[in-house]
């Protein structure tokens, strides 16, 4: 294939079933962890009817997923967003997408790493009265996850699925305890649009935060090469996971509201309101809800590393990033991409959170990482009609390939603007400039790469998952 590698390096095909990647997709969203640290802010913005903001966010995510699914149906690629954008708009756009997504994923997973260490340290301190620095646990879990992901996609996926199943069980037990202890005060006011705080303004404020609950649900789109019948399995898995996670979030929001007697202000005053509510309901079994957060974060780190490292690997294999990142281990895993992904993410997290609380700094890290990722999502929506009209005109659907992608693009503008709008406090006001600088460097690198690899345009997305 021209310059660089002589032999196409493939991952282990047909290793995963539809059930496997459905579990990975759900584990990626980390329902417990995501909800624990987001719901207070969502409730503060939307009021007691915050479950409705979650439903609206889910609809927007489904619009975005449509674009990923439609590309997967016709040209499934491990590069996922990167390859699809590169095939549509050319190698320069592909390189810029690779830089943006790699940077965004590596920085954003720092949220997971920081929470994993901080939450474990908190559990030991609260229940065993033992104080251990959170950095120790962050490093330990990164090494464990790195080993599992390196050892094979089947092994690591089974671990992620098992951790998610345990997490889900603990969430269900916690919600059941809340319902039982508040049986005489059950109310469904949370589902009444009349109770949305400040109407559309409140919904608009909560919407970007609710969208972030679903970040990662489409990551298994990068695992097509290892999935049986990926053109069908991946779309089924991603849609199924999105719908199931939506139900989980809505029920968690409702039970939290019930526990706080439909007092949105009281919910907003707590850093982790669901944990507070579940702790009171569970009594001596309070540890269970804390373990839900721990297993959630651990499963999320496995799922994120598996999927996101594969996109970086694919970009390296195709030449959009350095070829070394396209190296495959003897276990059929993207070893160089895994090392880069976890190594850089851990380093950034430890430096960034050195002088602050990991559970506080995690949200700041996630914000910076989300900006370039949201940009890539937006560009993917724009790519769908262009690609189908040019390459698959006979399969073109006005609804799936034009109307829904445009709706998805418009829907993403609001949460993206919420991240980059002027006048934000430090360090958030610097984040848009950091991302802009990154894109300029990526553009220059893309031009340099194109001069040194003349067939780069032919390489992008050239390795089809099931061929």
Tell me the DSSP string of 256-286.
Answer: HHHHTTT-HHHHHTSSSHHHHHHHHHHGGGT
Decide if 146 contacts 342 (C-beta within 8 A).
yes
pLDDT at 307: 93
Residue 227 in this model has a pLDDT that exceeds 60 = yes
- Burial string for 278-288 (b: 16+ CB within 10 Å, else e) reads bbebbeeebeb
Confidence tier at 355 by pLDDT (50, 70, 90): low
**Per-residue pLDDT tens digits for 14-24:** 899 999 999 98
Main-chain dihedrals φ then ψ at residue 334, nearest 5 degrees: -80, 80
Which pair of tokens denotes residue 236? 């089924």
Which one is predicted more confidently, 403 or 220? Answer: 403
Predicted pLDDT at 1:
42
pLDDT reported for residue 420: 85
Q: Cα–Cα distance between 406 and 451 in angstroms, integer? A: 34
The length of the chain, given as a count of residues = 467
Backbone angles phi, psi at 245, to 5 degrees: -65, -35
- Confidence band of 137 (pLDDT split at 50, 70, 90): very high
pTM beyond 0.85: the answer is yes
Instruction: Write the CB contacts of 118 (distance below 8 Å, at least 6 apart in sequence).
Output: 134, 138, 357, 358, 359, 362
Nearest to 464 by CA among 63, 84, 85: 84
Distance between CA atoms of residues 417 and 410, nearest Å: 11
Q: Which residue has the higher pLDDT, 43 or 354?
A: 43
310-314 mean pLDDT: 96
| pLDDT exceeds cutoff 80 at 200 | no
What are 127's two structure tokens? 């229940």
pLDDT of residue 311: 96
Higher-confidence position of 420 and 123: 123
What confidence score (pLDDT) does residue 7 get?
A: 58
Burial track 328-356 (b if 16+ CB lie within 10 A, e otherwise):
beeebbbbbbbebbbebbbebbbebbeee
Average pLDDT over residues 146-164: 95
Give the H or E element holding residue 301. Answer: helix 287-318
Q: What is the pLDDT of residue 411?
A: 85
Q: Is the pLDDT of residue 2 over 50?
A: no
- Residue 444 burial (10 A CB sphere; 0-12, 13-18, 19+): exposed
Please state at what angle helix 404-420 crosses helix 199-211, rounded to 10 degrees.
90
**pLDDT for the residue 416:** 84
Q: Which residues contact 149 (CB under 8 A, 6 or more apart)?
A: 156, 302, 305, 306, 309, 333, 338
CA atoms of 206 and 358, how far apart (whole Å): 24
Structure confidence at residue 6 (pLDDT)? 46
Contact 415, 214 (CB under 8 A): no
For the chain, the maximum distance between any two Cα atoms, rounded to a whole number of angstroms, is 71
% of the chain with per-residue pLDDT over 90: 70
Two structure tokens written together for 467? 């061929």
Instruction: Compute the mean pLDDT over every residue in the chain, rounded to the nearest whole number.
Output: 91
Predicted confidence (pLDDT) per residue in 403-413, tens digit: 999 999 998 88
How far, in Å, CA of 296 to CA of 376, rounded?
26
Burial of 269 (0-12, 13-18, 19+ CB in 10 A): middle
Can you tell me the mean pLDDT for 413-435?
A: 86
Whether the CB-CB separation of 228 and 17 falls below 8 Å is answered with yes
**Tokens of residue 464, six digits:** 């089809």
Which residues, other chains included, contact 325 with Cβ-Cβ below 8 Å and sequence gap of 6+? 312, 313, 315, 316, 317, 334, 336, 337, 340
Enter the tokens of residue 66.
């449509």
Three-state DSSP class for residue 62: helix
Average pLDDT over residues 220-248: 94
Mean pLDDT of 447-456: 94
Among 35-44, 47-56, 334-343, name the most confident range.
Answer: 334-343
């Amino acid at each position: 294939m021209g310059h660089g590698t002589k032999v196409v390096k493939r991952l282990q095909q047909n290793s995963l079933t539809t059930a496997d990647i459905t579990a990975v997709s759900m584990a990626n969203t980390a329902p417990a962890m995501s909800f624990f640290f987001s719901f207070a802010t969502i409730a503060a913005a939307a009021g007691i009817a915050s479950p409705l903001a979650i439903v609206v966010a889910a609809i927007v995510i489904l619009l975005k997923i449509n674009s990923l699914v439609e590309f997967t149906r016709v040209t499934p690629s491990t590069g996922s967003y990167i390859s699809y954008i590169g095939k549509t708009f050319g190698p320069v756009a592909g390189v810029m997408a690779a830089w943006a997504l790699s940077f965004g994923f590596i920085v954003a997973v720092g949220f997971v790493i920081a929470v994993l260490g901080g939450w474990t340290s908190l559990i030991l301190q609260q229940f065993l009265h033992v104080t251990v620095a959170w950095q120790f646990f962050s490093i330990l879990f990164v090494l464990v996850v790195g080993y599992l992901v390196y050892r094979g996609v089947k092994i690591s996926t089974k671990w992620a699925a098992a951790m998610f199943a345990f997490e889900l069980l603990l969430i269900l037990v916690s919600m059941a305890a809340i319902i039982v202890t508040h049986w005489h005060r059950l109310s469904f006011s949370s589902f009444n649009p009349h109770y949305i705080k400040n109407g559309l303004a409140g919904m608009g404020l909560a919407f970007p935060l609710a969208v972030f609950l679903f970040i990662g649900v489409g990551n298994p789109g990068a695992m097509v090469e290892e999935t049986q019948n990926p053109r069908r399995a991946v779309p089924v898995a991603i849609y199924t996971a999105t719908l199931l996670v939506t139900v989980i979030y809505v029920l968690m929001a409702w039970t939290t509201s019930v526990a706080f007697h439909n007092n949105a202000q009281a919910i907003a005053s707590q850093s982790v309101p669901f944990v507070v509510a579940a702790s009171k309901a569970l009594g001596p079994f309070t540890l269970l809800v804390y373990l839900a957060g721990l297993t959630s974060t651990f499963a999320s780190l496995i799922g994120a590393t598996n999927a996101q490292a594969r996109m970086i690997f694919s970009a390296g294999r195709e030449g959009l990033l350095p070829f070394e990142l396209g190296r495959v281990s003897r276990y059929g895993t993207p070893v160089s991409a895994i090392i880069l992904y976890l190594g850089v993410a851990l380093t950034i997290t430890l430096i960034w959170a050195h002088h602050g609380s990991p559970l506080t700094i995690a949200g700041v890290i996630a914000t910076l990482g989300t900006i370039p990722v949201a940009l890539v999502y937006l560009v993917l929506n724009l790519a769908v009609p262009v690609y189908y009209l040019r390459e698959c005109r006979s399969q073109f659907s006005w609804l799936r390939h034009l109307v829904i992608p445009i709706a998805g693009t418009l829907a993403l503008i609001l949460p993206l603007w919420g991240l980059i709008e002027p006048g934000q406090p430090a360090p958030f006001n610097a984040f848009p400039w950091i991302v802009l600088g990154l894109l300029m460097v990526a553009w220059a690198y893309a031009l340099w790469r194109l001069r040194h690899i003349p067939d780069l345009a032919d390489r992008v997305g050239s390795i089809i998952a099931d061929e």
